[in-house]
Amino acid sequence: MSIVESAPIIAGYPDLVVTSPFDGEVIGAVPQNGPGQLDGILERARTGFQLSRSLSRFSRHKILERASTLLGERAETAADLIVREAGKTIRQARKEVARAVMTLSLSADAARSDSGEVVPFDAFEGSENRRGWFTREPLGIIVAITPYNDALNLVAHKLGPAIAGGNSVVLKPSQLTPLTARFLVDLLIDAGLPDEIITVVHGDRELAQALISAREVRMVSFTGGFATGEAIARNAGLKKLAMELGGNAPVIVFSDADIPAAVEACVSGAFWAAGQNCVGAQRILVQSAVYEEFRDRFAARTIALTAGDPREEATDVGPMISVASAEAAERLVDDAVAAGGRVLAGHRREGAVYWPTVVEGVPFSCELWADEAFAPVVVLSPFETEEQAIAQANEIDYALHAATFTRDITRALRVSEQLEAGGVMINDSSDYRVDSMPFGGAKYGSMGREGVRFAYEEMTQPKVICINA
């Protein structure tokens, strides 16, 4: 079967045509779903849950480990699909596939290693004759809604832990990258997963709202924007929510930092995946004493990047996900320049390709400073004191990651404690992430954690067994 036909889905609405963001080439099509099909979707998910919960932990482990192996064997096919559908460069796509291989392997480990623990009932007066334990049991039906920017690995981060925990999943991938998600589902089925355990659906906001508000859905796991996250929270009712809602990562570079190393890390962190990275470096605060050196090195390194065809090995920055997204990035920079900002590099667009862009002198009231750009755009800003830098870094209402560069470990730890973020990277880009670590936001919109072990815990619930002997 072709990739477009093999993943399970309930058809009935006009097909969604999937095209390449780089050149508009038609890649494939998927059938669409609507809210009128909700009963059939949930019926299939109920069947899937009964099958999933009946699998032994070893069986879940074996399926996930086999899927990890298969993905490694099919890595180049997966990477090519990511390039064509999402526009990532081929080198970036290969790295995403390697991470997804690890995500599935970690999920396999979670299936048999995180099953509960003994409860010492006899340690408490009146319970001396009691013995027992708790296990981690599945929640039931989980709705997973995934974005386009990591179309393979972020799907793996939802499916892997859900399967490990014995749940069934209704997966609604991004309308922009559905084929990559279905590729992964096909692969899991090839690895031995009963196909009813995952139901793939494609559709618009009405379908999502119907799924989210369904009473028997026990959890919604969502990665996407704040407005959508708020709508989900309003409509979900009494169920678990796990949301990763984006960020506007600050990076603080102190005067004692290794400036060339900081520049290299920040260039990578800012422009990876054409800046469509929720932990990408967007606001870089540089101490005044080294600001000019950092600025000049950063701008020169940015100008040297190659933007264009993501299929070419030499390309550093591919297209954004759509022409509309690139146009929006262009407008953000136009507005910042109109407010007094100065372009140091980039600010050029051809179709969906927006050249990596560096701007300084942007007023803090500008949208480019205050909101997530989700584009290959960086704002540079000087600061004088540590206190000033921390205040500027923390002034945004939401944060996933932050970063700081300094040779002073005492200062690094002090600053890390004061930065309001879900993770702080020291002498590394804000976009560093390994798939076993807890991952999520701080402040407004923070809800739950990803990272395989932590997602597994979110997607399961303790069940206590107590024996009165």
CB neighbourhood size of 5 (10 A): 12
**How many Å separate Cα 140 from the centre of its chain?**
23
Neighbouring residues of 180: CB distance < 8 A, sequence distance ≥ 6: 78, 81, 82, 85, 86, 151, 152, 155, 173
For 59-84, give one letter per residue: b (16+ CB within 10 A) or e. Answer: bbbbbbbbbbebbbebbeebbebbbb
350 is annotated as an active-site residue? no
Catalytic option among 244, 360, 372, 450 = 244
Using alpha carbons, list the distances in angstroms from residue 414 to 173, 381, 408: 40, 21, 10
Helix axes 75-86, 90-113, angle to 10 degrees: 120
Phi and psi torsions of 361, nearest 5°? 70, 25
Coil vs helix vs strand at 16 = strand
In angstroms, how far is CA 232 from the centroid of its own chain? 17
CA distance 304 to 9: 45
Q: What is the DSSP letter of 108?
A: H
CA distance 396 to 250: 9
CA gyration radius, the chain: 23
Please identify every residue annotated as catalytic.
Answer: 244
